[in-house]
Structure 1
């Protein structure tokens, strides 16, 4: 049991440590990062509350490639990303410690890892060690990329001082699109008469998300008002 718990916790902890170390210029209080992680875990309950009426009144056929599209993008991706978005945008966003664009990425990833870790524990204890290894390199990193995208646009929303609603909208829609795409290709991989290797496109979407996340991290690091190199350059100008 401890082995399974360790496998379930490891990827989320590793990703959170990675993001924490990438916050080079003005790191967030540890207690707030832990709180953000707990918000993410609690967001799974929000997901369940929203999903219950959807699953009750919006009946979609499993194994139908059109219905699976709506399941992936609306019943899963949009609901889960909104649940995480709620805590980041309405609780963490106004916090005085959210004082540079990169903080959007930090808090959104912490919330995403809270969600992904609790989800990971449930999956691994139900399906076992092999599922844990698979999710360590797929589902959990995917949730991290969704968090980076959300946080990137929330950082722009708060500190660009223009098009706030536009960037706030992208903070929800961008991760929803990538999340839905990732899930959709996994969902239809087992559908009869669909190419069995279509799951490869889920991996492609994950790789693309990782590339975009790396660029987003770099851009917000450079944009930090606490970045002395940027401040010195601006002073020279």
Structure 2
């Protein structure tokens, strides 16, 4: 019974955040099967990413900067971006800017959920520690997914001259902010841990703003207004 409770606590935050972001799509909800496919794909890339991270760590050694910006921020966000771009960017269901946020968050939260499950199974965990992980790592992955998806959504519908720049933003910015987040948590300067609460608060305010902007750019929003005028 205890194991079931711990596993539930490990899985619930990712599912809850994905459901919230899915329901924020105001105009044209994405197919559930495609969202779940990306969520499961996000889970599947965890082990290969961990193998690559471990190999690089053994090769180059470990220090807070490498662990934060190279292994966590760089490798993890690059893997998510690669999957997102090659599966979704040219998919017919990617038909409005907010879709980028839904699909990127699906991959990110799938990744975070399996990480949480592994943490619960292989390390001593309590319900409280898993809830703290929900507030930090799982929430962080959701925000990095929002950032990635927001700029990929802009790139999808931007003129060709701007699309490559926005695609670069969709990879570089989540990797950079993921690195900053990890560096705050792993830095030897212990006082920096107190920065993480306002950091996450500001990040969520930013993320909610991007959600609103992406929805406002939906072509279905204009169609809906035209139909209202006709009525």
- Matched length: 223
Tell me the residue number matched to 2:26: 24
Tell me the residue number matched to 1:2: 4
Moved more, 40-49 or 69-78: 40-49
Separation (CA, whole Å) in 2 of partners of 1:230 and 1:152: 22
The 1:45–1:161 alpha-carbon spacing in structure 2 relative to 1, beyond 3 Å, is farther
CA displacement at 1:53 relative to structure 2: 3.0
| Counterpart selection for 1:82 from 75, 78, 81 | 78
Q: Secondary structure at the match of 1:28?
A: coil
Separation (CA, whole Å) in 2 of partners of 1:147 and 1:81: 9
Separation (CA, whole Å) in 2 of partners of 1:152 and 1:175: 11
Task: Give the CA RMSD over aligned residues.
Answer: 1.8
| Counterpart selection for 2:150 from 149, 152, 155 | 152
Can you give the 5+ residue segments of structure 1 that lack an aligned partner in the other structure?
61-66
Structure 1 stretches of 4+ moved >3 Å:
228-233
Tell me the residue number matched to 2:113: 117
Tell me the residue number matched to 1:63: none
Are 1:104 and 2:100 an aligned pair?
yes
Are 1:92 and 2:94 an aligned pair?
no
Tell me the residue number matched to 2:202: 208
Tell me the residue number matched to 1:64: none
Aligned residues of 1:44 and 1:83 also touching (Cα < 8 A): no
Are 1:224 and 2:223 an aligned pair?
no
Separation (CA, whole Å) in 2 of partners of 1:59 and 1:96: 43
CA displacement at 1:56 relative to structure 2: 2.4
CA displacement at 1:146 relative to structure 2: 0.2
CA displacement at 1:208 relative to structure 2: 2.2
Moved more, 112-121 or 67-76: 67-76
Aligned residues of 1:222 and 1:230 also touching (Cα < 8 A): no
Separation (CA, whole Å) in 2 of partners of 1:232 and 1:175: 36
Q: Deviations over 1:36-57 (max 9, x none)?
A: 1011101212312432431221
Are 1:128 and 2:130 an aligned pair?
no
TM-score (norm 1): 0.89
CA displacement at 1:230 relative to structure 2: 7.5
Q: Secondary structure at the match of 1:134?
A: helix
